[in-house]
Structure 1
Amino acid sequence: MEELVTSLEEVVKNVIQFNEDLENHTDIVTQLSMFIHWYYIPTINAFGPSKYIGYKNMNTEKYDRGKRKTGVDTEKELKEWFVKLSVESEKAQELMEELYKLLEKHDKKVRSNANIHILKKGIKHSF
């Protein structure tokens, strides 16, 4: 089993890597519609799915289509820094629209049961 992240800085690094992997059209693009829990980092204006960003030093190759990884473990770890938005909230709807646009660039759709998580302390974190 892969090692879980232990700091918010590791999470941010993974979100950046996830978005680079998308831009480079790696295999992760084919899996975009599978992710349910999406995490948003306002300081870099980027999203990442829990099952990818919750493990140390992640990249598409290491992700290996999610083999031997579980979102249950990553969700527990990421709760330390993030809170899930209510689907009805204005902020969740605004961010969901941004997530739809991101996935549309890759001809993918957001799952109907997807959730958005944001930093508990808002945008005050700096890296």
Structure 2
Amino acid sequence: MSTLVTTAKQAVRNIARFSHELDASPDLQSRLSYARAWYAHRENDVWHFGPSKFCGYQGMTAAEYVDDDPRDGRRTERQLSQWFTEISEDAPLYEELAIGLTAMLAKHGKVPSAKMRINVSTEFYEIYSATGEPDDRAITDLLIAVARRLPKIERERVRSAL
């Protein structure tokens, strides 16, 4: 029986291993379109992806993944949710991730499931949200903080411009 990962580092190693295993395993390639929950890790400005059942078990390999040993994706997703955050389809980061995943699958003649979900490490997402492409609320909070520091006449000028 496979053992669930116990750290985010193990999951990230599995994401990296998935890319290598995928290139060498036609059986693994044949199952790509069935995966719904994908986990992404960015290294050197390149996104790497792995499905939850591959990422969620310690030391997973292509041979183990395709051997049809019963593994539960709900268990892996629950385990991985400790360290990863699902990216909503309306988030700016989602498009970048979807393009990367679609390109990876296309190399093997596959397309993503219509029900795909993409997750990134919570740590990455928090940093990205604060420094990359912040959501509208973060921008608004920043504008408010800046406006509070302005003299009253400048605040009025900003208000009239809006």
Per the normalisation by structure 1, the TM-score is 0.90
Equivalent in the alignment of 1:104: 106
Equivalent in the alignment of 2:116: 114
The CA deviation string for residues 7-33 of structure 1, in whole angstroms up to 9 with x for no partner, is 112112111111101122341101000
Letter in 2 for 1:16: A
Matched, 1:10 2:10: yes
Query: Residues 1-127 of structure 1: matches in 2 within 5 Å?
Result: 1-43=1-43, 45-122=47-124
Letter in 1 for 2:115: N
Letter in 1 for 2:92: E
Separation of aligned partners in 2, 1:64 and 1:24: 13
Change (3 A) 1:88 1:103: same
Would you say the 8 A contact 1:26–1:60 is kept in 2? no
Structure 1 residue 64, shift from structure 2 partner: 2.7
**Which runs of 5 or more residues in structure 2 are unaligned?**
128-162
Tell me the SS of whatever aligns to 1:58: coil
Following superposition, which runs of at least 4 residues in structure 1 exceed 3 angstroms of deviation? none
Structure 1 residue 95, shift from structure 2 partner: 0.5
Change (3 A) 1:114 1:40: same
Would you say the 8 A contact 2:22–2:62 is kept in 1? no
Which structure has the higher relative contact order (CA within 8 Å, separation 6+)?
Answer: 1
Per the normalisation by structure 2, the TM-score is 0.71
Aligned residues: CA RMSD: 1.6
Instruction: State which drifts further: 26-35 or 43-52.
Output: 43-52
**Which runs of 5 or more residues in structure 1 are unaligned?**
none
